[in-house]
Amino acid sequence: PPEKKGSWFACGDPSGVGPRLYFQRVPEGKIVKNRVHLDVRVGTGLVGDERLATLEAECARLVALGATHVQTLYADEENESCIPMLDIEGNEFCID
């Protein structure tokens, strides 16, 4: 729709091997740090407890590499679980 024009964009590896990057405009402003917030897909196609276990395992792996676990957002009626994190420089990203 016209009111959504320019609110998102996705780009992908033409060969289909690499990840897809999805850019989405959000309503809230950002004062410091990130200009881009990455959502890293690790639970694609999984739901419920299986998805959460996969996210938690990836979270543990990333924490061991220096990332910080911010919180775990559990599935509700509208969204599946995801885990917001910080990289070693304090930039936000989510694993979902």
Q: Give the start-to-end residue ranges of the domains of the chain.
A: 37-96
**Residue 26 and residue 14: Cα distance in Å, rounded?**
27
Q: 55 to each of 9, 41, 43, 52, 69, how far by Cα in Å?
A: 25, 9, 6, 5, 11
Structure confidence at residue 24 (pLDDT): 76
User: How many residues are present in the chain?
Assistant: 96
* Token pair 């959460």: residue: 52
The pLDDT tens digits for 29-56 are 666 656 677 888 887 888 889 999 999 9
The pLDDT tens digits for 62-93 are 999 999 999 999 989 888 899 999 999 888 89
DSSP-based helix, strand, coil % in the chain, nearest 5: 20, 25, 55
Q: The whole model's pTM is what?
A: 0.70
Angle at 23 between CA 20 and CA 5, to 5 degrees: 125
- In the CATH hierarchy, which top-level class contains the domain 37-96? alpha beta
